[in-house]
Amino acid sequence: MLYKKQGFPEESEIVLCTVLKVHHNTVFMLLDEYDKKGIIHISEISPGRIRNLRDYVVEGKKVICKVLRIDETRGHIDLSLRRVNTMQRREKNSQIKQEQKAEKMLEFAAKEAGKSLKEVYDKIRPIVFSKYPSLYACFEDIVAENFSVSDLKLDPKISNALEELIKTRIKPPEVMIRGLLKLETYDPEGVELIKEILKKAEAENITIKYAGAGSYTIAVKAEDYKTAETDLKNATDMIDDFMNKHQGSSEFIRQEA
């Protein structure tokens, strides 16, 4: 990716890194998005005892890390590999793919005027990144008609080609998470009570369907994983509290995509 952020990352930020060198107890990393270097101590590679670091990381490999500590005066950045959870890794990989997609579209449009990707990218960089965290976020706003390609002040050939690419290849953002609810109650009116709480838990972005034998599928749509996870937790907590108050129980089982 061409995209580079200014300054230092924030503590707890999830970052894309490239393994530079693997020593006995330390791994030296390049933070791709900042063009800065950091280190991972062996204790932050993986839980448990590690016999050989190269079983986990090798030079040139791209990995997703979490920023632990920053010392700007000394230029030190401590990173962790083991503290990145599945959701964070999935979100970061999605962001990277989106940015690569946006850069590819810009490259195709640049060719319409015989320009290189870097030449056009450098021209729009100040405009885009003064307002957006990424090129893809800018393109999403163009799809939502909150921003215009003309504001990028590009050659008309590039603008026209880019606008067509953006509007045909980028859809409004949406993620979905799914799971299975198992509900059980000994209340004489249990069936009606379950219908009541499931109706309350459903929302515009939450769908619950009967799956048989006291089980129900639940699907949550949102613009990002954080929102989807919050909405899912609120719904399942509501159901669990209700069932506990009515001689029942609930169990939620996540279904991986």
Q: How confident is the model over 30-59, as a mean pLDDT?
A: 93
Per residue in 179-191, pLDDT (tens digit) is 999 999 988 888 8
Domain boundary among 153, 169, 185: 169
- Residue appearing with tokens 């700007």: 72
Identify whether 9 is part of a domain.
Answer: no
Position 108 confidence tier, pLDDT thresholds 50, 70, 90? very high
Do 35 and 71 reside in the same domain of the chain?
yes
Do 197 and 144 reside in the same domain of the chain?
no
CA angle centred on 176, ends 170 and 227, rounded to 5°: 95
Distance CA 49, CA 57 (A): 15
Do 57 and 71 reside in the same domain of the chain?
yes
Identify whether 196 is part of a domain.
Answer: yes
Domain limits at 230?
175-255
Cut 0.85: pTM above it:
no
Identify whether 6 is part of a domain.
Answer: no
Identify whether 154 is part of a domain.
Answer: yes
What pLDDT does residue 1 have?
65
Per residue in 131-169, pLDDT (tens digit) is 998 999 999 999 988 899 999 999 999 999 999 999 999
Buried b (16+ CB within 10 A) or exposed e, 76-99: ebbbbbeebeeeeeebbeebbebb
What pLDDT does residue 48 have?
86
Q: What is the number of structural domains in the chain?
A: 3
What pLDDT does residue 101 have?
95
Tell me what the pLDDT averaged over the chain comes to: 92
Q: What percent of the chain has pLDDT over 70?
A: 99
Identify whether 67 is part of a domain.
Answer: yes
Residue 220, domain CATH? 3.30.70.1130
Identify whether 249 is part of a domain.
Answer: yes
pLDDT at 193 over 70: yes
What pLDDT does residue 257 have?
58
Domain boundary among 116, 134, 169: 169
Identify whether 226 is part of a domain.
Answer: yes
Distance CA 193, CA 217 (A): 17
What pLDDT does residue 24 have?
85
What pLDDT does residue 110 have?
95
Domain boundary among 83, 107, 125: 83
Identify whether 180 is part of a domain.
Answer: yes
